[in-house]
Structures are given as structure tokens and as C-alpha cells.
Amino acid sequence: MNTLLVIHDAGDGEAGERWRPLTDAWPGPALAPDLPGHGSAPLPEGATYAASDAALAAYRALQDAGLHGTPTVVVGHGWGGFGAELLAAAGRASAVVLVDGLGGPWVDVDGLVADQHRWLRQVLADPATTAPPSTAPDPRLAHGFATIWERSYIRGLRAAVAVPVLAVETPASLTPRDERGDRVLDFSGGARVVECSDASGDSVTQALRAAGWLQSK
């Protein structure tokens, strides 16, 4: 029986709790851990963050639960979708669900640098991000991360994802609507897009049932 591992979005105030309807409905072991700096989880060592850290933190939670090595469906929401893709590319997922996880507009190398500058200026201009964090989620996470959406890099990553992928897209998605069908073609294991009203745990659970990815207990 497949294990479910959910990687929530960066800066999500609900953190793992958002996904309780899905973990409760899953007919097998299910985890939706709070990532470092969210919910009840402490700050990361060094108090710094990178988009890829979510994959490591989520997989450690799987190891701590004794579930590593089991077939695992990895759900990633927003920036958590990038972590889900990294786990799948490393052979640590039997299937992937990306909730608003196909990424923002494509950028070139100059665009990557420009967005790093934009992000840094935005963070430094926010007093909450330069003060010692006193709330969860860590206020620095409200700004997310600078873009990673350079097309050749992402296409190479997705070519390494050789398991089925379901992209669940809501009105909040940053992916241009006319590009969604093309983006899933980069996954070598096959992928399709379904629409969902929002990224609540209840709505995504219903979308997975409708897509045949979730059976009743």
C-alpha cells in the first residue's frame, strides 16, 4: 500500500494542518509534516532557507516514521512542488501530485539574476524579516524564494521524473494557463492536468478522487 507524503507550501500558515482532510482520507500511511520554521517545527539550522530544503526535511520525516523505502505518493503544494519533483527525480517517489506546482513564468539567465536582486531588496525592506523571528511561519518565508523557473533547467529536472504526475491547478496558480498542458509534457513518466477550485485540503482530496488517484478507505 502506498504511503502519502505531503510537502506544504513555503510560508503557509496552516502548514501540514491544511492537508489533514487528505491524510485522513488516504487508505494507508500518510504524513504531512510541518517544515522547519512552520507550525510546531523549529527553525532550520543556521536559520536559513532554500527551496530545495523542503525535500530533505520531508524525507527525514518519512525516515523518522520508518516509512522510507515504501512506495510513496508525494504531494507538493506551491514551492513544495519543487521539493516533490526533486524527490521523484532522485527515485524516492512512486507518483507525484503537484498542486499549483508547475511554476511561474519562464525566465532566462538574466531574469534569474534580476529576480534574485528583486527578492533581496524586498526582504531587506521588510522589518519583520530582519528581526529575530518570533512567530510561525517565520516572517522571512512570506516572500517565498527568488525564481528558479529557467526552462532548460526545469525541463532537465522533469525529464528525470519517470513516475506518473498529476498537476492540480487552481485559480491561484502562477503558471500561465495557456502553458499548463505543454509543461506537463516534460515529465518522462507521463502527466496530466486537472482543475480544482482552490488549494484547500478538502478540495484537493475531491480532485484526487475525481481523477482516480484516491480510493475510499
Considering the domain boundaries, does residue 215 fall inside one?
Answer: no
Burial 120-137 (b: 16+ CB within 10 A, else e): eeebeeeeebeeeeeebb
Taking a C-beta distance cutoff of 8 angstroms, is the pair 187, 174 a contact? no
Residue 217 domain flag: no
Kindly report the number of other CB atoms within 10 A of residue 110's CB atom. 8
**Residue 171 forms part of a structural domain:** yes
85 forms beta bridges with none
Among residues 157, 126, 121, 152, the alpha carbon closest in space to that of 139 is found at 126
On whether residue 146 sits in a domain, the answer given is: yes
Residue at 215: amino acid letter: Q
Report the C-alpha gap between 216 and 199 in whole angstroms: 20
Query: Would the pLDDT of 217 be above 80?
Result: no
Share of the chain above pLDDT 90, in %: 91
Please report the pLDDT score of residue 46 as a whole number.
78
Flag whether pLDDT at 216 surpasses 80.
no
Residue 175 lies in a domain: yes
- Please write the tens of the pLDDT for every residue from 84-128: 999 999 999 999 999 999 999 999 999 999 999 999 999 999 999
How high is the mean pLDDT of the chain? 96
Residues 6+ apart with CB under 8 A from 110: none
Long-range contact pairs involving 43-51 (C-beta distance under 8 Å, separation at least 24) = 43/133, 43/138, 47/133, 49/10, 49/138, 49/140, 49/141, 49/145, 50/145, 51/10, 51/79, 51/82, 51/83, 51/145, 51/148
Determine the structural domain holding residue 202 and report its residue range: 3-210
- Given pLDDT bands bounded at 50, 70 and 90, which one contains residue 79? very high
How many separate domains does the chain show?
Answer: 1
Dig out the grid coordinates for 21 from the structure.
482532510
Answer yes or no: is 128 within a domain. yes
| DSSP letters spanning 151-195 | HHHHHHHHHT--S-EEEEE-TT--S-GGGHHHHGGG-TT-EEEEE
- Summarize pLDDT for 48-75 with one digit per residue, the tens: 899 999 999 999 999 999 999 999 999 9
Enter the DSSP assignment of 141: G
In a domain, 216, yes or no: no
Q: Is residue 173 one of the residues assigned to a domain?
A: yes
Instruction: Identify the band that residue 161 occupies on the pLDDT scale cut at 50, 70 and 90.
Output: very high
pLDDT at 201: 98
